[in-house]
Structure 1
Amino acid sequence: MSNTKLIIEERAANIGNFLVGRLLPFRQKRMVGPFIFIDHMGPAHLGAQDNLDVAMHPHIGLSTLTFLFEGAIMHRDSLGTAVEITPGAVNWMTAGKGVVHTERTPERLRHSEKTLHGLQIWVALPVEKEQCEPSFTHVEADEIPSWEDNGVQFKLIAGKAFGKQSPVPVYSPLYFIEVKSKTTQTVTIGQHLFGESALYILEGHISSDGHTYGAKQLLVAKDSTLCAFELAANTTVYIFGGEAFPETRFIEWNFVASDKSLIARAKEAWTNNSFPPVPNETERIPLPPPKRFGG
């Protein structure tokens, strides 16, 4: 019997002047472990006059994880952080009770051609941490645990697995792992996983239980402990998951919470301009209107 519970195709979503491939949330699967939102951003090839400019916007109740394959993003937030992220490094911002940030093309790249490609991920916080003080951590690429096993390259970007721990300061049991190979290899790693688990194919393809899956597909496992597949040559996949929360999480715009009243309060605070601003920034993304369904 196949261990694949659900196959999610990447779907286009618009963020400003970018089309991104949205993976989570999905109607049939709102979360995988604590992971509640995943966008595949790019690859976007930008001209000399085209830049990423995501103005001030707020978050509550989550941690954001930015991981780039190509390009660079300048992150600024209401804590006073100003950090450029480049490929292989991790930006981990915990919103807690509320944080505001911007994401822009760094000044050094704003007048030249460039490519931007990466993953934008939201990880929901445990109930007891939802209203914690906001914080920011940047982890350089060479600080991420990396190793090779039988011709397969691994990176533990966040969480715990394989008896290793990433320096990214997560708040619940989870893992986010890069697996890649230049040659065809069989990968059996279920004994290292736990909780809910999913596998995203960035490039190449994998085979499992007699089926072949290609790039831009997200496979949700029935049982993470049975995770085994054949990795085709020149394939890169990302495996993520962990312990699911007992409580439902609600998501509206950039807000995540176990209690809808926290989201209502955050919406009112943003409308009233009472979130802390990002230093030296003035442009704000307005609260979007409520979604209307039906006729």
Structure 2
Amino acid sequence: MFRKLHEQRLIRIKKENYSMSNTKLIIEERAANIGNFIVGRLLPFRQKRMVGPFIFIDHMGPVSMNNKENLDIAMHPHIGISTLTFLFEGAILHRDSLGTEIEITPGAVNWMTAGKGVVHTERTPEHLRNSTKKLHGLQIWVALPIEEEQCEPSFAHASASELPSWEYEGIHFKLIAGKAFGKQSPIPVYSPLYFIEIKSDEEKTVSIGEHLFGESALYILEGSITSDGHTYEAKQLLVAKDSTLCAFTISENSTIYIFGGEPFSEERFIEWNFVASDKKLIEQAKENWEKDKFPSVPNETVKIPLPEPKRFGG
């Protein structure tokens, strides 16, 4: 159905000359299947499982759907993370076991904290189901600190107008989540992090390392950047060696995302939709899902079965 969404990409890592570049790894976006959808997967990766607390990133689309094609991801559970959905085009109807029902639109942020367990669905809204439409965006998982892994689930939503946005020397900035540049997003995060959008209509020099901390990565959605004589293109994820040295030239008509934060001292394990610092929590979540011990989503009846054991990435 969505076979043309992404051409299959080979996984490639370039080891840069450390004396010339602050880039530690270059991760190529690569195709991955999630149910009836194909996405470009960025994290986790074999050589880099997390960047700060960010443990999972999918690039959805862009895809065009006809009047018979719709996004329909049935009930599925999460533990140990907050999910962040950020759309560039289209709309998704989000329903969850907390009773939330909200339409996600471009520029808005959906932030669902799973904690000890939450269930949700993602579907094309009813008013778009019989029409042609597009869908394009990012799906992100942020791992919770160990003291919050088993917290009560919660949900937060911020409209596009609520996110801090500003312009500096012709460059457009938006703080989607976390704290940076002396600003704070209204999204209630659980550890020190940042997720920043940067757009430029013209070629500009960007130097923002003093505003970042912890681990840092840069994803090029469109356009390109140049750093220390190296040019990087769209659909590449660059993992920095040192977040304080984040300086580069952004080309005209480019959009990039910078994300990261303080890494956790404990390892995180990931299996299917479950993330935890203790594998026993994942095994318990798998058992609970199979035995229908998770809460259900109002007005939903179909659940995605537990798949055969498989780890993301690599």
Q: TM-score range by the shorter chain?
A: over 0.9
| Cα drift, residue 207 of structure 1 | 0.2
Distance 1:291 1:251 in 2: 9
Is 1:42–2:61 an aligned residue pair? yes
Letter of the 1:50 partner, please give it: E
* Partner SS for 1:142: helix
Is 1:251–2:270 an aligned residue pair? yes
* Partner SS for 1:23: strand
The C-alpha deviation readout for 1:253-275, integer Å capped at 9, x for no partner, is 00000000000000000000110
**Where does residue 28 of structure 1 map in the other structure?**
47
Distance 1:154 1:109 in 2: 31
**Contiguous gaps of at least 5 residues in structure 1:** none
Distance 2:308 2:28 in 1: 27
- When normalised by structure 2's length, the TM-score is 0.92
Is 1:268–2:291 an aligned residue pair? no
The percentage of counterpart residues that share the same residue type is 79
Is 1:184–2:206 an aligned residue pair? no
* Partner SS for 1:80: coil
The C-alpha deviation readout for 1:214-268, integer Å capped at 9, x for no partner, is 0000000000000001000000000000000000000000000000000000000
**Where does residue 208 of structure 1 map in the other structure?**
227
Is 1:55–2:74 an aligned residue pair? yes
The C-alpha deviation readout for 1:32-80, integer Å capped at 9, x for no partner, is 0000000000001000010000000000000000000000000000000
Task: Work out whether residues 271 and 309 of structure 2, in 8 Å CA contact, stay in contact via their aligned partners in 1.
Answer: no
- When normalised by structure 1's length, the TM-score is 0.98
Distance 1:152 1:17 in 2: 37
**Where does residue 217 of structure 2 map in the other structure?**
198
Distance 2:138 2:221 in 1: 10
**Contiguous gaps of at least 5 residues in structure 2:** 1-19
Distance 1:184 1:230 in 2: 7
Task: Work out whether residues 95 and 120 of structure 2, in 8 Å CA contact, stay in contact via their aligned partners in 1.
Answer: yes
Distance 1:32 1:45 in 2: 31
Is 1:236–2:239 an aligned residue pair? no
* Partner SS for 1:274: coil
| Cα drift, residue 18 of structure 1 | 1.6
| Cα drift, residue 17 of structure 1 | 2.2
Q: List aligned pairs for 1:1-295, cutoff 5 A.
A: 1-291=20-310
**Where does residue 5 of structure 2 map in the other structure?**
none
| Cα drift, residue 16 of structure 1 | 2.0
